[in-house]
Structure 1
């Protein structure tokens, strides 16, 4: 069911659960906590989502759909931007704990074995994103490789790991600049 077709109560549960998953993790948030926070009966939860895995899958789809829209906007609509400017925008869109990529990033580590269908949403997004970056790199460098696109995502992931450690300084700009040296 597309998110636009969900009733208001279901959307409210979806937003509540995304907040709780972001803050506490997928394993620390159960259905009871979600229904209590969303102030709905448990039967209503199961009527809309059928299972916690389905809710996680829908939450991740919501996040990755939003990311895709922003990525497409940066790459294909904001034509006045240079390659480096686009890469910077894409990097900071993803390397931010308060943005849409935080939940899919968290899912990489928390749900691969316990919720494989939901995890596949993240895998699909990451593959799509790598392909988009690869096509973008090819627009200015015919020798760009898919490995370059993978490396860009690895740099984003490295920045996210650093951001999650409150004892480490924010080195996102330095990581990005190091990567961009090759694409000047």
Structure 2
């Protein structure tokens, strides 16, 4: 897939919509609200994005690229951190409800039946992240299984759900710490 190139004006609309979708959901935010809050005309919106479905897909692609850049910065360019520290940073990056992963996580539940291309973008990121986690876990324990990477992803997503339900997240954070400790 070719890199996504957006004009400054289109990117402003995408950024506004990412915030709206994060806080109100994909189905409750319509094109009219997006254009009103972005201060553009409906014609301009459809010129840039063609449809709401394509627009949601673009928003998720932008979010996915931003998040991948952050993950790569943590795992590849942060030479001063241990693998445990890198995994810890990945955990907190992905469990932050105001962070970039939350929108992709939300898309897993809200876009599957209505916006299949957007849903696939979220699934592709999740698969990519699992591979990145697996690569890091192999530095801790060479015979780690891919299942262990999936388990860590489930711990991350369980923490998000706990944070959304306002339950005690310390237990989930302890599960993350315990998971990393048993691998060592």
Aligned residue number for residue 61 of structure 1: 61
Is 2:12 the counterpart of 1:12? yes
Q: Which runs of 4+ in 1 moved over 3 A?
A: none
- TM-score under structure 2 length normalisation: 0.93
2:78 alignment partner in structure 1: 78
5+ residue gaps, structure 2:
none
Partner of 2:33: 33
Equivalent residues of 1:84, 1:183 under 8 A apart: no
Structure 2 CA distance for aligned equivalents of residues 175 and 9 of structure 1: 43
Aligned residues: 182
Deviations along 1:85-108, one digit per CA (max 9) or x if unpaired, are: 111010001000011001001101
Q: Name which of structure 1's ranges 138-147 and 153-162 shifts more when overlaid on structure 2.
A: 138-147
| Distance (whole Å) between structure 2 residues aligned to residue 66 and residue 102 of structure 1 | 13
Consecutive unaligned residues of structure 1, counting only runs of 5 or more, are: none
For the residues of structure 2 that align with 1:181 and 1:117, how far apart are their CA atoms?
Answer: 38
Give the alignment's Cα RMSD to 1 decimal: 1.4
- Where does residue 47 of structure 1 map in the other structure? 47
Alpha-carbon deviation of 1:170? 2.8
Matched residue, 1:122: 122
In structure 1, the residue matched to 2:176 is 176
CA distance in 2, matches of 1:17, 1:2: 20
